[in-house]
Amino acid sequence: MTPVPGAVGQVLRGWARRHAAGCQVITPADTDEAVRALSACAGQGLSLVPRGHGCSYTGTALNAGNVVLDTRRLNRVTAFDVETGILTAEAGVSMAAILDLALPRGWMLGGVPGGPWITVGGAIGNNVHGKDSYLVGTFGRSVVALTVMAPDGGLHRLRRDGSAEQRQWFDFVIGGMGLVGVVLEADIQLRRVAGPVVAATTLVFRDLAEMVDLMERHKTSADMMLGWVDAFSPDGRGSLEVSTFSPVKPGDRTPPIMGRPERLFGLLPTGPTYPLLRSVISARVMALHNVYKFRSDSRRGSVHTDMGAHAFPLAFHVPDVAGLFPGGFVEAQILLPLARALEGHRAVLALCRSHGFESWLCSSKLFRGDDYPLSYSMEGISLCICLPGRLAKRGDFRAFYDRLVDLTAEAGGLINLTKDEFLTTPQAHRLYPGLKAFLDFKRRMDPETRFDSDFHRRLTRPA
């Protein structure tokens, strides 16, 4: 590996703990240093990919044998108009930092994902979504303007309402995984909410049909919804959490969005606890846990809580959930159009059961669509299949996954591209018709492939 001035050699991992890559890491303190880093890479014949807190699941922020631009020192909120709700933030600002600033003033990020440490640049590059995806869509729908670094090192201001040429580039940066422009700063339109406290009601359902009915019934009144499905049950029972924002009561303070917790469920120190849990956790243990959770949710009713515990439940209770899975974890997040969602997700769960691949963690969300070429969005319902990484070594896993892709494609659905590690190049093109246009655009804009990643190399590998 040719050394780059100012870089530090590190082995980086994806958040799912299944991929590692030896990279040279440069951590710029400002835009000028980011530009110089790209120039140094070009001089050494190396490529670069941006990375925030490392919350990308697989290889989108890894660049084996090349350079990773760590954006976490680009962490300033440079403007916030409390009248209009437009906030300007550098790429390394976290979701938690924005919520700490905005929520007490009555503003909320749209499309907030499930990790408080996810950065603005990562949220845009992966076009993430949240519990309000049926209401406001993906994170990219809230982005008004971008400052991006082009492959030649030039800085460009792209606006959603800019020229046709600007808008095309803007649209490809959203969900473009840093491959057609490195986001350095973004203007984001926040949405007005009643207050920073969350009133959440848990509703149980006996099967997927009841879940779909509950989602439809509450979508016009709820600020956020999240479904949990017991994938070990034959009918797909579970619960739907329906929540709204409310003001802080007089005399109460607004609790901060949490930093990275050091204790599991707030009680047990993570260091010694994770190895112990990894040694006993299994499909049977998870099935018993699901029985307990369903019974517990049946009695839960309504609670008031803060945004940190509500928006980021896994991070709040299990700060290193990936560390619990033997061999890391694999995830297939499947989004099907509303008209096919019930039938299709029943087939998905049946396929999982037939192979003994019941999802250990299985969530569901209601979505609305957008027009970004690589966007994981449509008017539909998602289902998340999450399995321990060791199961991917089983001899029947490839056949299982290929059938999962077929079920998804036949229903006109999507598998979340940025979380996937198993889609072949033809399968990715089958699910994402806009992928060809994106890759053509990248080849025109970046003919020397100065922006690259492990994910991109896998995606463009000949079939």
How does pLDDT run across 295-315, given as a tens digit for each residue? 999 998 888 777 776 777 777
| Residue range 219-229: mean pLDDT, rounded | 96
- How far is CA 418 from each of CA 155, 282, 317, 322, 368, rounded to the nearest angstrom? 25, 27, 25, 17, 18
Pick the CATH number of 77-192 from 3.30.465.10, 3.40.50.11290, 1.20.120.140, 1.25.40.10: 3.30.465.10
**CA diameter of the chain:** 63
Q: What is the CATH number of domain 197-426?
A: 3.40.462
Q: List the end-to-end C-alpha distance of the chain, in Å, as a whole number.
A: 28
- Residue found under tokens 């440069």: 26
Comparing 261 with 192, the larger pLDDT belongs to 192
DSSP 96-113: HHHHHHHGGGTEE-SS--
| Residue 20, amino acid | A
Q: Which of 4, 11, 10 is nearest to 42 (CA)?
A: 4
Rg (CA), the chain: 21
Res 343 pLDDT > 90? yes
Q: Is the pLDDT assigned to residue 317 strictly greater than 90?
A: no
Mean pLDDT for 350-377 is 96
Q: What is the pTM of this model?
A: 0.94
What is the residue-wise DSSP string for 179-231? SS-EEEEEEEE-EE-S-SEEEEEEEEESSHHHHHHHHHHHTTT-SEEEEEE-T
Count of other CB atoms within 10 angstroms of residue 161: 9
Which CATH number applies to 8-71+439-459? 3.30.43.10
In DSSP notation, 354-420 reads HHT---SB-EEEEE-----TT----SEEEEEEEEEGGGGGSTTHHHHHHHHHHHHHHTT-EE-GGG-
Q: At what angle do helices 397-410 and 338-355 cross, to 10 degrees?
A: 170
> For the segment 33-58, what is each residue's pLDDT rounded down to a tens digit?
999 999 999 999 999 999 999 999 89
Mean pLDDT across the stretch 380-394? 95
Q: Give ranges for CATH 3.30.43.10 in the chain.
A: 8-71+439-459
Residue spans in the chain of domains classed CATH 3.30.465.10:
77-192
Give the single-character DSSP code of 239. Answer: E
Least Cα distance to 95 among 134, 61, 136, 123 occurs for 123
